[in-house]
Amino acid sequence: MSNLSYVSGTGNVPLLGKTIGEMFDETVERFPETEALIVVHQDIRWSYREMKKQVDECALGLHAMGLRKGERIGIWALNCAEWTVLQYATAKLGAILVNINPSYRVHELEYVLRQSGCKFLVIDEKTDHSDYAEIVYELVPRLKYTDPGFLNEGKLPELTTVITVEEKAGPGMFSWKEIMEFGDEIKPEVLDRIAATLHFDEPINIQYTSGTTGFPKGATLSHHNILNNGFFVTESIHLNEKDRMIIPVPLYHCFGMVMGNLGCLSHGATAIYASRSFDPEAVIRTTDHEKATVLYVVPTMFHAELEHPDIKKYDVTSLRSGIMAGSICPVELMKKVQEVMKMTDMQIAYGMTETSPVSTQTTSETPFEKRVSTVGQVHPHQEVKIIDPDTGLVVKRGEKGELCTRGYSVMLGYWNDEEKTRQAIDSARWMHTGDLATIDEEGYVNIVGRIKDMIIRGGENIYPKEIEAYLLTHPKVNNVQVIGVPDEKYGEAVMAWVKVHEGVDINEQ
């Protein structure tokens, strides 16, 4: 065995050389009556055959409206059936789906729409946390006085069309129902002709991932990137068509749309959304009612579920496996998961948006002590090395350095940003993660720190520079420094030190 910190993942299963649309149709053909999607809060229960009808209608409707291969369409919504239908419909058209964080406000939404050049935008219905339509009207006031589909806004020159999942659309918008009806006059064979023009190495998804400086960067991912990653992540947990997966993690993250949706699609399993956003009781109640077998979480979600006062009212013993990602699982939490939920095959995964996302993962055979102290071993068809950040040379086993990964999963690049792409991916196609790590003699990777100035709060990456830039927009703020501080529940919490201009008063609110 080499004493250098380099490992390559081998496997007997080859990569999938197909587009997401091809995978979708193959799965429908194999498992037409298997339940594909259950959305509890929308009272939706579709078989793969029924979901195909929704997906094809959506694709034909968007095509009728003029959406073409390579054009961008944003999705700004919490977990819902429309999100998933749009994910597969755009893949069939070769249009690029742009994931937009539902927490974004006006200035962030404007940046993402402009930087990606979105032609279409699909928005969620009003929730307790956000009125998406009102935010769009605030960003583009003239939308209220424009015929749907004919927006012409100087600061968003490529955006023409806004679609809401609300039953009744506001001024200047189309409703989801209208989109689904627009394709009625188009022959379904159009989708076959489009499919013949698509290739699995083409971009299909842009996910915005924050940096330590400046604005978020659009990680551009191909069919090949995300379909294979979803497939191999779920190969590790032995997913099959009889499995029923609860997905409480957000779809706008790779965890939800790749490891969740595409993992289920590639194995003919059932995807279940218990609520629009994470609700611990909804998760355990739905697990009981639907006899779910697989659960995806970040550690804080497990805390919330296990500590819920009503957990003993529900039977969650149908769960056999799952994946925890976002941060290392504490020993006591893993023990509690196995004792209370009887999940003996809870696996840990590590990755980043730019690598589609997973690079390393524990397996069913990983010893308990490795599950709670490492992020597993390298995935099939991928490579990992640890380098000295100063010299670029591979360090010896057990020595700390920057983790780099290479393989099918590395993104195509950052959308319209060659300089940032060159900074992240070197000439040999190694993705530099910015994480400090070690590799032991058995090939287990341990994340020990971060080169990048990043806070991980409950599995969510938070970047101080972005918060600082926003707080500095307040007229009374002179300077600000944001840091991470230890937190028992979330791992890290965010602390902001604010300096105000001389002679002014300002309170916390």
Residue pLDDT, tens place only, 397-409: 999 999 999 999 9
Distance from C-alpha of 111 to C-alpha of 123, rounded to nearest angstrom: 16
The pLDDT value recorded for residue 285 is 97
Average pLDDT over residues 55-62: 98
Question: Does residue 505 belong to any structural domain of this protein?
Answer: no
pLDDT tops 60 at residue 212: no
Question: Does residue 207 belong to any structural domain of this protein?
Answer: no
pLDDT in tens, 286-313: 999 999 999 999 988 988 999 899 898 9
Residues sharing a CB contact under 8 Å with residue 41, sequence separation 6 or more, in sequence order: 80, 273, 274, 275, 276, 282
Q: Are residues 443 and 464 in the same domain?
A: no
Q: Read off the CATH number of the domain in which 480 is found.
A: 3.30.300.30
Number of H helices and E strands in the chain, helices first, is 16, 26
Q: Read off the CATH number of the domain in which 300 is found.
A: 3.40.50.12780
Q: How many separate domains does the chain show?
A: 3
Which one of 410, 430, 450 terminates a domain? 450
Task: For the chain, give the percent of residues with pLDDT over 90.
Answer: 79
pLDDT tops 80 at residue 283: yes
Question: Of 24-33, 71-80, 409-418, 454-463, where does mean pLDDT reach its minimum?
Answer: 454-463
pLDDT confidence tier of residue 330, bands split at 50, 70 and 90 = confident
Which one of 199, 231, 261 terminates a domain? 199
Q: Are residues 143 and 289 in the same domain?
A: no
The pLDDT value recorded for residue 332 is 83
Secondary structure class of 437 (helix, strand, coil): strand
Average pLDDT over residues 67-78: 98
Question: Of 201-215, 232-246, 258-272, 447-461, where does mean pLDDT reach its minimum?
Answer: 447-461
pLDDT tops 60 at residue 213: no
Question: Does residue 247 belong to any structural domain of this protein?
Answer: yes
Distance from C-alpha of 63 to C-alpha of 76, rounded to nearest angstrom: 20
First to last CA, the chain: 58
pLDDT confidence tier of residue 207, bands split at 50, 70 and 90 = very high
pLDDT in tens, 335-363: 888 888 888 899 999 999 999 999 999 99
pLDDT tops 70 at residue 88: yes
The pLDDT value recorded for residue 361 is 98
Q: Are residues 291 and 169 in the same domain?
A: no
Which one of 140, 167, 199 terminates a domain? 199
Q: Are residues 442 and 463 in the same domain?
A: no
Q: Are residues 261 and 191 in the same domain?
A: no
More confident call, 475 vs 126: 126
Domain range for 56: 20-33+42-199
Q: Are residues 266 and 178 in the same domain?
A: no
Q: Read off the CATH number of the domain in which 75 is found.
A: 3.40.50.980
pLDDT in tens, 1-23: 579 999 999 989 999 999 999 99
**Furthest CA-CA distance within the chain:** 71
More confident call, 506 vs 417: 417
pLDDT tops 70 at residue 188: yes
Q: Are residues 406 and 496 in the same domain?
A: no
Question: Does residue 97 belong to any structural domain of this protein?
Answer: yes
Degrees (nearest 5) of the Cα angle 135, 138, 143?
100
Environment class of residue 42 by beta-carbon count within 10 Å: exposed (0-12), middle (13-18) or buried (19+)?
middle
The two three-digit tokens of residue 22, written as one number: 């091809």
Instruction: Give the orientation angle of helix 106-116 with respect to helix 132-139, to 10 degrees.
Output: 70
The pLDDT value recorded for residue 453 is 67
Q: Are residues 435 and 469 in the same domain?
A: no
Q: In what order do the strands lie in the sheet with 358-361?
A: 44-47, 35-39, 270-273, 244-246, 294-297, 321-325, 345-351, 358-361, 377-378
Question: Does residue 508 belong to any structural domain of this protein?
Answer: no
Distance from C-alpha of 94 to C-alpha of 120, rounded to nearest angstrom: 14
The pLDDT value recorded for residue 354 is 98
Q: Are residues 325 and 474 in the same domain?
A: no
The pLDDT value recorded for residue 451 is 77
Q: What is the pTM of this model?
A: 0.89
Q: Are residues 491 and 461 in the same domain?
A: yes
pLDDT in tens, 457-502: 888 767 676 787 788 788 888 778 888 888 888 888 999 999 887 7
pLDDT tops 90 at residue 509: no
Q: Are residues 192 and 223 in the same domain?
A: no
Q: Are residues 438 and 494 in the same domain?
A: no
